[in-house]
Amino acid sequence: MDDLLAQNAMKIILFAGDARVNCKNALTATEKNDFEKATAEMKAAKKNITEAHKVQTQAIQNEMGEDSKSKPHSLLFTHAQDTLMTIYSEINIANHLIKIAKQLDERLKNIEK
């Protein structure tokens, strides 16, 4: 594996990992009905996962422009892609959970009135 591919794999893992932390923070804030913080954390998660996806896309485009048969398979890059997709799924689920929590909170506030 060449150095650039390894660097790209690590960038993907780091950006995606940061997105996971943002997502976890958003869910923790949601537990406390702090939807403002949850929204801010999910915005940061989206930014980080988008950066990871950009690195992945660029790496794939770079490989397609070269003779891909001369490139060995990279287990680290495969791991990075797996990490990216897993955390992307976590973000999607968290967005839905936060939406549900907001709706429940609003309903409870209306009942309490």
CA dihedral over 87, 92, 93, 94, signed as positive or negative: positive
pLDDT in tens, the chain (113 residues): 588 889 999 999 999 999 999 999 999 999 999 999 999 999 999 999 999 999 999 988 887 776 555 666 789 999 999 999 999 999 999 999 999 999 999 999 999 98
Look-up of token digits 């003779």: 67
What's the rounded Cα separation, in Å, for the pair 85 and 20?
Answer: 11
Q: At what angle do helices 75-112 and 35-65 cross, to 10 degrees?
A: 160
The DSSP call for residue 113 is: -
**Cβ–Cβ under 8 Å, residues 74 and 1:** yes
The secondary structure of residue 68, as a DSSP letter, is G
* Confidence at residue 61, expressed as pLDDT on a 0 to 100 scale: 86
What gap in Å lies between CA 101 and CA 60, rounded to an integer?
A: 38
